[in-house]
Structure 1
Amino acid sequence: MIFGKLLPREGNFFELFNQHGEKIVEGARAFMAMVQNYSDPAERERYAVQVDAAERQADKITAEVNRLLHKTFITPIDREQIHSLINAMDDILDLLQDSSETMSLYDVRSMTEEVERLTDLSVKCCERVRHAVSLLAQLSKRDAAEAAIKTCEEIDKLESDADRVMRAAMSKLFREEEDVRELIKLKAIYEQLEAISDRCEDVANLIEGVVLENS
């Protein structure tokens, strides 16, 4: 019994999840600002730097969660759920950074309406991920559990919207774009942006599992 009392319990997982969720939204909004100001090279670079900074800070939080997992004997939710959730969240910021870098490396000169729409959906998904994650510490309360499930359903709907936008964007691209190089660039960017909402849906699915097992 004394041994059990000496073992580390709980940790600070929910707070770390919340911090990571804030970085996801921070990176997503910086990415949107980059897209909106893409025609201004200085502003574009400034916001790209902010996306990179959010990703690096989130990496540190992810590393701290994984470190804490090794030190904590009793965790507030299943250990595998913690590991899967923080890594799925980290994937979101990785994709935001990848999308930013791809635009620069491919020397994309201007944004399309489809890029803007996919970016907007990505930001909305990220904001709902943050909200769903913020409810994890309150799952013993029925209202919080129901709110988490509702938010996850909203993420699923946004992901479906992003799928439709990407399909329409691809159709338009292959019908109307005559420059093969531009077609290749935009195709890659559309796919990366749509993948952001996919990763948000992965997080939503994991959170739904946590809610069902712990509420």
Structure 2
Amino acid sequence: MLFGKLLPREGNFFELFNEHGHQIVEGARAFMLMIQNYNDLDLREKYAAEVDKAEHAADRITAEVNRLLHRTFITPIDREQIHGLINAMDDILDLLQDSSETLSLYDVRSIPEEVLRLGELSARCCERVQHAVSLLPKLSQPQTADAAVKTCEEIDKLESDADRVMRSAMSKLFREQEDVRELIKLKAIYEQLESISDRCEDVANLIEGIVLENS
């Protein structure tokens, strides 16, 4: 009985995943609002600060998950899965923050339609990531496991859409942009934005693996 009392419990990993997912969505929405209102400097700075706030909050959650892993003997899913998932989720917000900062550092004056489109796809991917993560505590239920897999498939499709948008954007950029500096700036931004959906797909792949092993 004493050993049972001393044995560290499972902890609140799923709650922390869900909180992190919430910050991902908050960061993605703030990024979208930033690029949609880019010509308004005050709003641009306001929403960029909200992206930073979400990223910092997510960092704290990631650190708490890693601390909890060291203190917990029995975990609800495999320890490597927990570590891989929280860090993959953290990569999403890191890229959102990097994209926000890059627009400022590169002194981008106006937002092309392609950036808006890639940002929209990234935001939708982030929303799907949060939804998939919210289903993790109930994977033992067949309907919930199926819903998680379906959500991961939706993320995969969005990532493919982002690939197509980026290829089209790159083609247009190299055909029409005569200013080499602008070409270099926009090429880097397109690639960075497309990488957000790639990281969302990484999370989807990890969740699909968790579903297969735990449902």
TM-score after normalising by structure 1: 0.99
Amino acid at match of 1:131: H
Structure 2, unaligned stretches of length 5 or more? none
Amino acid at match of 2:199: R
Amino acid at match of 2:193: L
C-alpha distance in 2 between matches for 1:7 and 1:37? 52
Q: Which residue of 2 aligns with 1:148?
A: 148
1:1-215 alignment runs, 5 A limit: 2-215=2-215
SS in 1 for 2:31: helix
SS in 2 for 1:77: coil
Alpha-carbon offset, residue 24 of structure 1: 0.0
Question: How many residues are aligned here?
Answer: 215
Alpha-carbon offset, residue 6 of structure 1: 1.7
Q: Give the 4+ runs in structure 1 shifted more than 3 A.
A: none
Alpha-carbon offset, residue 5 of structure 1: 4.2
SS in 1 for 2:174: helix
State percent identity of aligned pairs.
81
CA root-mean-square deviation: 0.7
Amino acid at match of 1:171: S
Alpha-carbon offset, residue 92 of structure 1: 0.1
Amino acid at match of 1:39: N
Alpha-carbon offset, residue 164 of structure 1: 0.3
C-alpha distance in 1 between matches for 2:5 and 2:83? 24
C-alpha distance in 1 between matches for 2:104 and 2:172? 23
C-alpha distance in 1 between matches for 2:103 and 2:57? 22
Amino acid at match of 2:12: N
SS in 2 for 1:84: helix
SS in 1 for 2:111: coil
C-alpha distance in 1 between matches for 2:96 and 2:4? 42
Residue by residue over 1:144-173, the C-alpha shift from the partner in whole angstroms, topping out at 9 and shown as x without a partner, is: 100000000000000000000000000000
Alpha-carbon offset, residue 3 of structure 1: 2.3
C-alpha distance in 1 between matches for 2:137 and 2:8? 18
Amino acid at match of 1:205: N
Amino acid at match of 2:32: M
TM-score after normalising by structure 2: 0.99
